[in-house]
Amino acid sequence: MTIKDLSAQTGYSVGTVSRVLNDQPNVSEKAKKTILEAAAACGFQLNTNAQQLKQQRSNNILVLVKGSSNQLFSSLVEAIQSRVALTTYHLVVDYMDEDNDEVLRAVQLVREKKPLGILFPGGNRENFLAHFGRIDAPCVLVTSSGADLPFENLSSVCCDEDQAVMHTIERLIDLGHRKIAIIGGYRDRSDTARRRFQGCMAAFEAHGIPFAPEQDYANARFSYEAGYEAAEKLIARSDQYTAIFCMADVMAMGAIRALTDHGLRVPQDVSVVGFDGLSIGEYIVPRLTTVSQSVEQLAQRSVDLLRERIEGSHEAIHEVIPAELQWRESTRSIEK
């Protein structure tokens, strides 16, 4: 079933049929009615391939998801999907391996699929610096800042991570914690890890708290398991820690498990803080104290920013959404 068939059926030419189906002006009410009815009757759908081939563009927004164990991104993709569903665009999700280059992949997909724009949850600074110049479609970096990247087609939306982390650590310090450990991402590979680490250091320095990275910092991927292992490493190194700040909720939950397995109670013996505000955090025992970034807002703003760029001719915008410290049950004061 093509517009040709529809044309034959209704007696109108393919031109008129096409105009009606695309809701264009210069068609009589009568033609519109006749054709729309005939189309509805046989459940007609325009052929997307022909359409896009002709128009030299797709109607798709692409989201490039890197690594899958990070629960935050799953939620984010779903929220993005909901938001895109409200528009006339279609969301295409492309998953890729954690340790491949997302920008290189994007370069390929741009040529292959011609998306109107791309959303990058996460995203690595070096990769962008190296190859992003080859992409001319508007893009948005989500959960990571692109403010200091020199690309006018790259917007970003993220929360003020380093500030939020700094305040969180300060809160811990206020509550009497002095021996604080960090479980975080590999700083040589992850911007997120790097920025959150800066927040930690700022707090430690401002308050004169000693912190030796090689001792008090444990590397981990963004998964329960990695959090577990990192916490075990920390426990083996010292039994003095009264608090552990984790750069992701999944790490924090793994860490809590490890602490528990080693006979340490949370928060009585060790306070644990996460980052992300995953909904599971409100249900575990104890409820997880965390820096929450609103997945809804992240999704909403990033989609909106991208749409503006696609539809208008704005320049790159770097938006910061608030991060909210959710003080719950996995942390306590240790003032005497």
- Least distance CB 49 / DNA (angstroms): 7
Window 211-230: residues binding a second copy (CB under 8 A)? 224-225, 228
130 touches a second copy by CB under 8 A? no
Window 17-36: residues binding DNA (CB under 7 A)? 18-19, 21-22, 24-28, 30-31
Structure tokens at 47: 């052929």
CB 118 within 8 A of CB 136: no
* Helices and strands (DSSP H and E) totals, the chain: 13, 12
98 vs 170 by CB, closer to a second copy? 98
Residues 6+ apart with CB under 8 A from 22: none
257 binds, among DNA, a second copy, none (CB under 5 to 8 A by kind): a second copy
Q: How many CB atoms lie within 10 A of CB 52?
A: 15
The arrangement of strands across the sheet holding 323-326 comes to 217-219, 180-184, 243-246, 271-276, 289-293, 323-326
Contact residue for a second copy among 88, 285, 312, 335 (CB under 8 A): 285
113 touches a second copy by CB under 8 A? yes
Contact residue for DNA among 8, 42, 46, 206 (CB under 7 A): 46
Q: The tokens 């030419």 sit on which residue? A: 13
Alpha-carbon dihedral 277, 282, 283, 284, rounded to 10 degrees: 70
List contacts with a second copy (CB under 8 A).
Answer: 43, 45, 47-50, 52-53, 58, 68, 74, 78, 81-82, 85, 91-93, 95, 107-108, 111-113, 224-225, 228, 253-254, 256-257, 260, 279-280, 282-285
List contacts with DNA (CB under 7 A).
Answer: 2-4, 11-16, 18-19, 21-22, 24-28, 30-31, 45-47, 50-51, 53-56
